Amino acid sequence: MPSRVWSEAVHGVDALPIEIESNVANGLPKWTVVGLPDGAVRESRDRVWAALKNSGFPVPRGRVTINLAPADVRKEGSAFDLPIAVGLIAAQRDLISPDVLNELAIMGELSLDGSLRPVRGVLSMVVGARDSGRRAVIVPSENAAEASVVDGIDTYAVNSLREAFSLLADQDGRGTAVQHDLRVLFDEELHYPVDFADVKGQQHVKRALEVAAAGGHNALMIGPPGSGKTMLARRIATILPPLSTDEALETTKIHSVGGRLTNGRGLITARPFRAPHHTISNAGLCGGGSNPMPGEISLAHNGVLFLDELPEFDRAVLEVLRQPLEEGDVTIARASMTVRYPARFMLVASMNPCPCGHLNDPGRACVCAPGHVQRYLARVSGPLLDRIDMHVEVAPVPFDELDQRAPAEASASVRERVVAARNTQILRFKDDPKAKNVHANAQMSSPLARKYCELDDAGRQLIKTALVRLGLSARAYDRILKVARTIADLAGSETISPEHLAEAIQYRSLDRSGWAG
């Protein structure tokens, strides 16, 4: 009689329950898999056949039909190997209770000898299985760490098809579910290999990055080579607030789907820092492929995306950032499916002020012709630049500051101020129904910015003067208000004073210089 086994199919960062029906009938040998399988699922026939034989199980000889339901959902990947093999064993032998199969979800790729290999997207699958009412999951041992972080469902890890059968048939007892202490993982990730204390000088840049981290603002650093732009950028994650449990699970799901969980920890508890090379393609940055995978902007979700030497990126590649920067997600449409990946990240970029890198450098003269400078800067469009909240000038560090022996302020103390400012923002938006998904000042819409960034008469006159003299857009006006609100939060002020506003205006250095993309 037909057997029924449950598994999960990954769609984007979520998973859908899949019922695998297996039937073995008399007739000429034939193996059929139906239900929109991709190439990897169709090829499971040979892997499952060899794994059954080499594990000592009977190999079906007649007409074998495998149905993956629902039939209108595309099934991809090799995670269906193990549930198909279990289904065939159950269809030929009355050794596994249908009730046991109904309460479990099974996933894993089979080797020819019957051992199991890890698969992508296990965290999403386990969350989907729990939400579908399954009480437990069986996964390959190498996926046990990420599977066990999900509450409300038991995780059983196995190394082979034989172990999975023993567990299901209850020959050696049900076994022990894998346990994971999340507190240990979060505590360990608080220790970073880099620190703001390593950076000599650059106090005004550190202050700007503290403001950016406190409000989740995008930032662009402009300065000559060797001024420390990359060194500063790589330390931004050390001053960001720690990930919450929900953020950690959401971030880990993206990396699991993309096959990026290689440290064996099972849960990403430090904010991601992604720094793609400037030769990256549209698909590499935003995601894509025939089977759409997450790109760098999704892998940077809840963390930092660092674009070093911004003008060196292809302009068409940079333009695809505009929609994710506004909406916090990216939608990838293909003929067979449409997938949405989260992409709410903090964009940090750096660039030289000119091709030679020494425009406005007090120590070296610029050798670029004016036309070359303009063409270099125009590689970054004005609309994209408008979406970057803060433009920070980075000057070379003088010798006296480089040679100082006194340690600079550590990331931990900066992070305390950032966390305090973020907590203020969370409390501010918590009870506002129009700010349901807003957790930082940078995420405020224009109506929210008008509501929470009210100015006094002196502030309105100051920003009016800045708008007229700099020719700022309405979007730039909103971003100045948001940055000023963050500066006020860092100062513990409920109101935005002219001093807060003046500091926010100075972080629009490219507007002050009359730059146009």
Residue 183's CB is within 10 A of a number of other CB atoms, namely 8
70 preceded by a cis bond (ω within 30 of 0) = yes
Residue pair 276/284 in contact (Cβ under 8 Å)? The answer is yes
Residue closest to 434 by CA, chosen among 453, 447, 421: 447
- DSSP, collapsed to helix, strand or coil, labels residue 349 as strand
User: Using 50, 70 and 90 to split pLDDT, how confident is the model at 516?
Assistant: very low
What is residue 237's DSSP assignment?
Answer: G
CATH class of 3-169: alpha beta
Q: What is the pLDDT of residues 145-161, one digit of tens each?
A: 999 999 999 999 999 99
Give the contacts of 267 (CB within 8 A, at least 6 positions apart): 145, 146, 149, 180, 182, 185, 248, 249, 252
Q: How far is CA 405 from the centre of its chain?
A: 38
Listed in order, strand segments (DSSP E) in 141-217 are 154-158
Q: What is the pLDDT of residues 428-477, one digit of tens each?
A: 999 899 888 899 999 999 899 999 999 999 999 999 998 888 877 788 88
* Residue 185 in this model has a pLDDT that exceeds 90: no
* Residue 173 in this model has a pLDDT that exceeds 70: no
Taking residues 324-341, report their average pLDDT: 88
Q: What is the pLDDT of residues 376-413, one digit of tens each?
A: 988 998 888 888 999 999 988 887 777 777 778 999 99
pLDDT for 517: 44
Residue 93's φ and ψ, nearest 5 degrees, are -130, 140
* Residue 267 in this model has a pLDDT that exceeds 90: no
Cα 371 to Cα 167, 357, 361, 368, 374, distances in angstroms: 72, 15, 18, 8, 5
Give the contacts of 231 (CB within 8 A, at least 6 positions apart): 198, 199
Residue closest to 54 by CA, chosen among 119, 122, 110: 110
Give the contacts of 12 (CB within 8 A, at least 6 positions apart): 257, 292, 339, 340, 341
Residue closest to 68 by CA, chosen among 101, 20, 111, 100: 20
* Domain extents in the chain: 3-169, 188-512
Sign of the CA dihedral running 298, 299, 303, 306: negative
User: Using 50, 70 and 90 to split pLDDT, how confident is the model at 423?
Assistant: very high
Query: What CATH number was assigned to the domain covering residues 188-512?
Result: 3.40.50.300
What is the chain's alpha carbon radius of gyration, rounded to the nearest angstrom? 27
* Residue 221 in this model has a pLDDT that exceeds 90: yes
Taking residues 316-324, report their average pLDDT: 92
* Residue 268 in this model has a pLDDT that exceeds 60: yes
